[in-house]
Amino acid sequence: HNVDGSAGPQTILKGEYLNKAKIAEGGKKIRKNWTSTWVVLCSNQLLFYKESKQEAVANLKPGGKPDGVDLCGAVIEWTKEKSSRKHVIQITTPNGHEFLLQADHFPTICKWHDAIKKAVDSLSSG
């Protein structure tokens, strides 16, 4: 296990609160529900926590795993069609899960878009 208590790979971008909505699961549209989520980017996955990672790790049940998205084969793109909100990115996984991430502060979401894209690209290039 890593020093932070997770067994996962290394952290690329440390936690920050972003607005998150899951809009499809397994290719099926689901009702959109925006929530503020503490997001952490690792080399191969994006992790979602309800509270800061420090609290989340403290509250995690033994053997429990945080909610997350596997970035292998994922597609990340800016979208203006999927929301009336500004500054929205969409992450689509090969198994048909679709997530939206949004921040009011444009540089914030830009930073996450670029970092996630980089992580996805480096996974596909081996």
Cβ nearer to ligand I3P, comparing 45 with 92 = 92
Cβ nearer to ligand I3P, comparing 33 with 125 = 33
Q: Which residues pair with 47 in a beta bridge?
A: 40, 68
Interaction site with ligand I3P (CB under 6 A): 31-32, 34, 83-85
Instruction: Please check whether residue 66 is in contact with residue 54, taking contact to mean a CB–CB distance below 8 angstroms.
Output: no
Residue type, 61: K
Please state the closest distance from residue 84 (CB atom) to ligand I3P, in A: 3
Please state the closest distance from residue 93 (CB atom) to ligand I3P, in A: 19
Cβ nearer to ligand I3P, comparing 20 with 53 = 20
Please state the closest distance from residue 47 (CB atom) to ligand I3P, in A: 22
| Residue 84 Rama label (left phi>0; alpha psi -120 to 50; beta) | alpha
Alpha-carbon distance 114 to 108, whole Å? 10
